[in-house]
Structure 1
Amino acid sequence: MSYIKRIIASSHVRHGIKVGVASVLAYVMSGLMGMPYAYWAVITTVIVMQIHVADSIHMCLYRFTGTAIGAGMGILLILIFPATHFWTLVGIFVGTGICAYLTRYNARFRMAAITVAIVYLTSLGDEHRILFTMSRVAEIGIGVACAFLVSVVLWPRRAGAALRERLEHQFGQLAVRYTLLMNNFLSQQQKTDPDLFDDFAGETEKNKEMFHKVYSVERRFFRDDVDLLSTQVNVFRSVLERLQSMLTLLNQVEGVGFDIILAPELTELKRATTNALRAIGIGKPHDTKRLEEAVNNIETRFIELRREGVTSRFSAQRLFQVLGFISSAQRLGDYVVKVLKEREAAAKKEQPS
């Protein structure tokens, strides 16, 4: 039984079941409503059903609005052009050509062009061509409605939920790699793989794309904390850019490395920052006191060392490189504190007074 549950839990297995259920529902509903060509409704459900709810809803809107526009164009052509061979060719040229041109303004006209071709040609020879066209629109509408209903009700796999899982994993990975980066710096400025963050190259764009689906589509039907998701998406991008800059600074250090006197303070900053990053990834409140203290301790300790003249052991170039890395780590900590405090303030505003 547990094996069967594991199989059903697969997103692709569930998607297959959902498409099957929506197709059967569309066929049955078409029959109950007396539609003669129920296969149009079934075909529509197969076309518009997607794994994520947001994609399904987008395809439902795309399919139905494109069909409605195309049907309107088809009816206009039927009224204008006689059903002779020559004028049928003219009608096909005009209808599909206009819709294809209009795709420069909206992609839905591509679906409209397909619909024009279908309703204008399949209605040839029918005594009531306009009624025939409206029946096809109704069948497609049934398919869209069934696909929408099943997508939202049965095992809805939301882009918001998938995005939250991605972000939690991504922030966890950032914390791991930040730890590696800081450890290598403290290990006498050890060189680090310059491709350390390359596998994140496409992650920021994918996150933005998924967030757009949540914001523009899913939030109309489900309750999602879009403000939190927006914060996480933007913070991930910003932290990634900062860490890439720190990686460059570390690898620019030449010659024999030094033991860093600020190692205890930087180690504490590392721990506090990674804990805070994981908290942001999970989307949970996090006490910023430890991170704030770690950031301030860096500043305090550095001032003490400068007064003692310790920094004189570095050449000017090496001093700039080492201090650049430390300053970047400190600014990253400051930035994370600011983000957490803003989230805390926003949460307090949302609480009922």
Structure 2
Amino acid sequence: MDNILEVIGVSKHYTGHKALDDVSISIAPGTVYGLLGPNGAGKTTLIRIINHITAPDSGTVMFDGHTLTADDVSQIGYLPEERGLYKKMKVGEQAIFFARLKGLSKADATTQLKRWFDKFGISDWWDKKIEELSKGMAQKVQFIVTVLHRPKLLIFDEPFSGFDPINANLLKQEILQLRDEGSTIIFSTHNMGSVEEICSDITLINKGKNILTGNVDELRHRFSDGRCSLTFTGDPRLLMERLQPMSSEFFLDEPKGAEQRLELKLAPEVKLRDVIAAANEATDLIEVGRVMASMNDIFIKTVKQTENND
């Protein structure tokens, strides 16, 4: 299946600053794609180019099989990190206003908005002014008007910012539901836990360059550095003594009843079956597992490596 979005060799310069330097990404339809990077890395510039707000100095953006044009913006929904609602307008009036701008009739917009407001538990705020809403409620309103017209591509920039865990989970489930219904989503965030939960692939940008691209699970496996965990009962000191020649690092968790968990980093030449054999001799082994690197560790390690190489 063709990619819904192709960014090919895109560069963008501002006075004395290169915001993007030959960046390329490919996004398959019906996926949640993580766009990651430190502050000032170039993510916002790339998002603005994809939204046709600004143009690249060089390179091409392909949308749904053709070169991106201004007409394609109607098929893109964008929730920026800096929210933009008119504080003196009533909530319902403003939501209908934005929906009409995106091509919905007043009747269709009202019907769909009422359904979304019920789902998000904010129906009682329909006739309130925006300035009366909490930050979280205002974010719910802007999320709704972003997705209401069901665009092919949705771009969410830090969508969970300011939400408590319950509402963040509500929004997360809605994002996954939109994906399951066919929407493609670009998810820009600093929350690496959310990336692990909802993104299939990521691109990490730093100083305007694409420094890492790949499938989330594959990247976590690649960066795991041969780490594994052993759950056991017995003497942890004896276990670590037996495994000392096979590992350079040990991390012993707090025991849970009789069971204990040891995480270790295997030396390059060591096979997991050798660790299992040694552990069985020293303890009663209950479970063995590979330890996947976290996206947070991958983010920090990759950014530091690229900065050290500059």
Higher strand share: 2
Larger RCO, structures 1/2 (Cα 8 Å, 6+ apart): 2
- TM-score, length-scaled by structure 2: 0.27
Bigger Rg, structure 1 or 2: 1
Provide the TM-score with structure 1 as the length reference. 0.24
